[in-house]
Amino acid sequence: MKRLLLTTAIVLAPCAAFAGQTPADMIATLLPSVVNIATVMNETPAPVAGNMASQPTASVTYGQGSGFFISPAGLIVTNRHAIAGASQIFVTLSDSTRLSACLMAAAAQTDIALLRVNAGHPVPALSLADSDGLRPGDPVFIIGNPLGLGGTVTEGIVSARDRNTPQSGFGAFFQLDAALNHGSSGGPVFDGYGHVVGIATALFSAPNETGSVGLGLAIPASDAAFVVKQLLDTGHLQLGWIGAHIQPVTADLAAALKLPDTHGAIVTEVAPDSPGARAGLAAGDVVLAVGAEDMAGPSALNRTIAASKAGSVLRLTVWRDGEKRPLPVTIAELPGDKPGAGGHSSAPLCEAPVAPRADLGLVLSGLTDDARDRLGLDDKDSGVQVLDVVAGSAAADRGIAPGSVIQTVERQPVTSPADVQAAIGAARAAGHAFVLMLVRNTQGLAWVALPLASAAKG
């Protein structure tokens, strides 16, 4: 598969605090970043022998899910199972705008998919926060599309961490009691500060029950950020794997195993003929460290293994029979995810964008009517719209934000992304240390000098 050219920057830092706002105010601010996902699935029954006139005809079924923007350029993260089998995907925004979506990439083993829409303007994006500090009892709330109702908020607490299921090939879920129903899958889970700490993914119901009984699972945002980056970089997952299922070490387990503390991850099962099995890893072993790095718990160990390349050797330190033992394990690639869109979906695949470029961290587009209205520009006003800004780039460091409009570069008017790129190239060729831009945002006009030596090519 072609490498996906990333012209959108996902933001991995926690979002801004909502100091002084009520919960309702905070939710009102977050709602426009959450989308409802509708899928169309065309099912053609297998042909049967006999008269062709009596053959069964294709049927159409529909599905519902949730998702949220992680880039102002229209990049959406959701669950893979929310779009599996879809021939068409539609996204509805909080203002009822309905857009067709294309599938960028998906991964079965992690149940994460990336979609893209073209809204014609920058969209409000959320951040994937660090979820490692989440604890049982912490308050959380979900915004999603349960039962197709759209824009629904439910709240609760984190019930437990590091939940594994037979279907989880990577990482572990956290459990929550906030109501999660069919159609909520893919929606963001927020902590009490408005940070995205997870992706609502699965619900458990009693026999003969189909709705929420307060047993939901979510993918931790820290794990999701790792997966999203790989999907954007390569179009598929290349996760390290040793074939071990693990769980946290509790105080009781530590006492029973004569461990000095509760750090590490205890092995519950090792897959036959897996790298772990071949290395001699066994159920009951506690992985304390990888190389010189201590493993605080299952999440840290899972991400360390996943980030390792196939063929490399991880030197584990395990606790067995009351003592530490070295155990080298040769990493294999996690089976199940192959290059491609990662699933049984026949939805339109996103083509790798040809342009715009992200020189100096700027992802640019032509000036839209929406941008003109928002900034009070007349038809005679020219400029180039900033669609997105790459995190950590020169443009981001100088405060240029998505939705801004660049009106001049080196004091010359610009009317297209090509004009901006040409002016930047000319400044480089002339040996300039900075390129000067006049940028308009909702606060007015401002001169910005971007350093050319730290150009961010993305």
Cis bond before residue 136 (omega within 30° of 0): no
How far is the C-alpha of 304 from the C-alpha of 318, rounded, in Å? Answer: 15
Question: Is there a single domain that holds both residue 291 and residue 392?
Answer: no
pLDDT digits (tens, 9 = 90+) for 186-203: 999 999 889 999 999 987
Question: Is there a single domain that holds both residue 25 and residue 169?
Answer: yes
272 pLDDT band (50/70/90 cuts)?
very high
Lowest mean pLDDT among 303-317, 379-393, 403-417: 379-393
Residues of the domain holding 118: 1-237+337-353
For residue 2, the model assigns a pLDDT of 38
Q: What is the mean pLDDT of residues 139-158?
A: 89
Q: Which residue has the higher pLDDT, 442 or 158?
A: 158
Q: Is the per-residue pLDDT at 62 higher than 90?
A: no
- CATH assignment at residue 364: 2.30.42.10
Q: What is the mean pLDDT of residues 48-63?
A: 54
Instruction: DSSP letter for 23, please.
Output: H
Q: Is the per-residue pLDDT at 242 higher than 90?
A: yes
Tokens of 192: 């009490």
Lowest mean pLDDT among 48-62, 224-238, 388-402: 48-62
Lowest mean pLDDT among 6-15, 207-216, 338-347, 358-367: 6-15
Q: Within the chain, what is the greatest distance between any pair of CA atoms?
A: 79
Q: Is the per-residue pLDDT at 320 higher than 50?
A: yes
121 noted as active-site residue: no
Angle between helical axes of 221-234 and 298-306 (0-180°, round to 10): 10
Average confidence score pLDDT of the chain: 82
For residue 22, the model assigns a pLDDT of 83
Question: Is there a single domain that holds both residue 301 and residue 232?
Answer: no
Tokens of 357: 């470029």
Q: Is the per-residue pLDDT at 165 higher than 80?
A: no
Give me the residue label for tokens 């109702």: 149
Q: Are 384 and 364 in contact (CB under 8 A)?
A: yes
Q: Does residue 457 sit within a domain?
A: no
How far is the C-alpha of 333 from the C-alpha of 337, rounded, in Å? Answer: 9
For residue 127, the model assigns a pLDDT of 82
308 noted as active-site residue: no
Indicate which residue of 33, 66, 71, 81 is catalytic. Answer: 81
What beta strand segments (E) does 93-195 contain? 98-100, 102-107, 112-116, 139-144, 152-163, 173-176, 188-191
Q: Is the per-residue pLDDT at 87 higher than 70?
A: yes
Question: Is there a single domain that holds both residue 212 and residue 290?
Answer: no
Q: Is the per-residue pLDDT at 344 higher than 60?
A: no
pLDDT digits (tens, 9 = 90+) for 287-301: 999 999 999 888 789
DSSP states along 290-329: ETTEE--SHHHHHHHHHTSPTT-EEEEEEEETTEEEEEEE
Question: Is there a single domain that holds both residue 186 and residue 328?
Answer: no
Q: 408: which strand partners?
A: 413, 438
The pTM of the full predicted model, rounded to 2 decimals, is: 0.67
Tally of domains within the chain: 3
94 noted as active-site residue: no
For residue 316, the model assigns a pLDDT of 96
The torsion of the CA quartet 387, 393, 394, 397, rounded to 10 degrees, works out to 90
Q: 246: which strand partners?
A: 267
Cβ within 8 Å of residue 354, ≥6 positions away: none
Q: Does residue 328 sit within a domain?
A: yes
Q: Does residue 132 sit within a domain?
A: yes
393 pLDDT band (50/70/90 cuts)?
confident
For residue 207, the model assigns a pLDDT of 65
How far is the C-alpha of 126 from the C-alpha of 29, rounded, in Å? Answer: 11
Indicate which residue of 111, 162, 191, 285 is catalytic. Answer: 111
How far is the C-alpha of 191 from the C-alpha of 12, rounded, in Å? Answer: 15
3-state secondary structure at position 147? helix
Question: Is there a single domain that holds both residue 7 and residue 78?
Answer: yes
Q: Does residue 363 sit within a domain?
A: yes
Q: What is the mean pLDDT of residues 371-377?
A: 77
- Percent of the chain exceeding pLDDT 90 equals 39
Lowest mean pLDDT among 9-23, 85-99, 173-187: 9-23
Q: Does residue 370 sit within a domain?
A: yes
Tokens of 49: 């022998």
Question: Is there a single domain that holds both residue 410 and residue 447?
Answer: yes
Question: Is there a single domain that holds both residue 132 and residue 191?
Answer: yes
Q: Does residue 456 sit within a domain?
A: no
Indicate which residue of 185, 212, 345, 365 is catalytic. Answer: 185
Tokens of 211: 């709705």
Tokens of 403: 């939705």
pLDDT digits (tens, 9 = 90+) for 10-55: 343 334 456 677 888 889 999 999 999 999 876 555 555 444 444 4
Question: Is there a single domain that holds both residue 171 and residue 265?
Answer: no
Q: What is the mean pLDDT of residues 240-265?
A: 91
Q: Which residue has the higher pLDDT, 161 or 408?
A: 408
Q: Are 304 and 249 in contact (CB under 8 A)?
A: no
Q: Does residue 390 sit within a domain?
A: yes
Question: Is there a single domain that holds both residue 141 and residue 187?
Answer: yes
Question: Is there a single domain that holds both residue 20 and residue 163?
Answer: yes
How far is the C-alpha of 199 from the C-alpha of 128, rounded, in Å? Answer: 10
Lowest mean pLDDT among 245-249, 285-289, 394-398, 405-409: 394-398
Q: Which residue has the higher pLDDT, 454 or 312?
A: 312
Q: Which residue has the higher pLDDT, 63 or 97?
A: 97
| Most confident among 91-95, 161-165, 333-337, 366-370 (mean pLDDT) | 91-95
- CATH assignment at residue 39: 2.40.10.120
